[in-house]
C-alpha cells in the first residue's frame, strides 16, 4: 500500500471508530433539520420554501464540526512531525486528509439529505436537486475548511477561530448551492446556471485548498 493510501485508510478508520467525527456531523445535521419545524411552526408552505436553505446551512455547520481536529489531533500526538518528514508531498497529504474527511463527514450528509428533506416538506424533485447540490458542494466546504484547520493547528481550542476564518470563505458556495437547489423547483433562473458556478467553486477549492493548507502547516510548524 502506498503512503497516501495508508493515510486515507487510517483517517477513515479513526473517523469511524469511537470518538471519531463521522457520526457527529450527520447527527448534528439531523438534529438541526428536526428542530427547524418546531421553531417555525406548522407552516408547510414556508418550510418548503426555506427548506433547501436550512439544510445547506446545517450541512455547512456539520462539515465544520470535526474539521478543527483534522490537523490538531495529529499535531498533538506527534504524528504531524513524522508526516512532515515523510516522502509524500505535503500538498497531497493534505488533500488526502480532506478526501478522508469528506468521505466520512460530507458524504453521509448527502445520503441523509433526502430523509431529512421529508421533515421540511420537500417534494421528490427538490430532494433530488438538494442531494445533487450537496454532493457537488460539500467537497468545497471541506477543502476550504482545510485552510482554516491548518491555520488553527497549534491552537488548543481552534474550533471557534476555524469557524470565524472559514465561514466567510464559504459564502459563495452557500449562495450558489441554495440557488441551484431552489432553481430546480421553480424560479427565474435555470438550474444549470448556479449549478455550474457551484461546480466551478468546488473545482477551484480542490486546487487552492491543499496548497494553501500545506503552506500554512509549514509556516505553523516552525
Give the nearer residue to other proteins in terms of CB position, either 196 or 218: 218
Distance in Å, CB of 189 to other proteins, minimum: 46
DSSP 166-199: HHHHTHHHHHHHHHHHHHHTS-SS-THHHHHHHH
| Three cell numbers written together for 122 | 420537500
Residue 9: count of CB within 10 angstroms of its CB:
12
Distance in Å, CB of 68 to other proteins, minimum: 17
Residue 33 CA to residue 27 CA, distance in Å, equals 10
Distance in Å, CB of 209 to other proteins, minimum: 22
Contacts of 202 (CB under 8 A, 6+ apart): 136, 137, 139, 140, 143, 173
Give the nearer residue to other proteins in terms of CB position, either 21 or 51: 21
Give the nearer residue to other proteins in terms of CB position, either 2 or 188: 2
Give the nearer residue to other proteins in terms of CB position, either 82 or 124: 82
CA angle 20–26–31, rounded 5-degree value: 120
Distance in Å, CB of 62 to other proteins, minimum: 21
**Residues found near other proteins in the complex (CB under 8 A):** 1-3, 5-7, 9-10, 13-14, 17-20, 76-79, 81-88, 221-222
Amino acid at each position: 500500500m502506498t503512503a497516501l493510501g495508508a493515510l486515507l485508510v487510517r483517517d477513515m478508520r479513526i473517523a469511524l471508530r469511537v470518538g471519531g467525527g463521522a457520526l457527529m456531523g450527520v447527527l448534528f445535521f439531523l438534529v438541526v433539520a428536526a428542530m427547524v419545524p418546531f421553531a417555525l411552526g406548522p407552516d408547510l408552505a414556508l418550510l418548503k420554501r426555506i427548506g433547501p436553505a436550512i439544510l445547506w446551512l446545517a450541512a455547512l455547520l456539520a462539515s465544520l464540526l470535526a474539521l478543527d481536529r483534522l490537523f490538531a489531533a495529529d499535531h498533538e500526538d506527534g504524528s504531524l512531525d513524522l508526516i512532515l518528514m515523510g516522502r509524500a508531498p505535503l500538498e497531497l497529504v493534505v488533500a488526502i486528509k480532506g478526501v478522508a474527511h469528506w468521505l466520512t463527514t460530507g458524504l453521509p450528509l448527502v445520503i441523509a439529505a433526502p430523509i431529512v428533506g421529508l421533515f421540511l416538506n420537500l417534494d421528490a424533485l427538490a430532494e433530488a436537486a438538494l442531494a445533487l447540490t450537496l454532493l457537488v458542494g460539500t467537497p468545497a466546504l471541506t477543502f476550504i475548511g482545510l485552510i482554516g484547520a491548518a491555520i488553527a493547528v497549534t491552537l488548543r481550542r481552534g474550533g471557534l477561530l476555524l469557524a470565524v476564518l472559514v465561514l466567510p470563505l464559504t459564502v459563495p458556495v452557500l449562495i450558489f448551492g441554495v440557488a441551484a437547489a431552489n432553481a430546480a423547483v421553480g424560479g427565474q433562473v435555470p438550474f444549470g446556471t448556479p449549478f455550474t458556478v457551484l461546480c466551478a467553486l468546488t473545482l477551484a477549492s480542490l486546487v487552492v485548498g491543499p496548497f494553501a493548507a500545506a503552506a500554512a502547516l509549514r509556516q505553523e510548524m516552525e
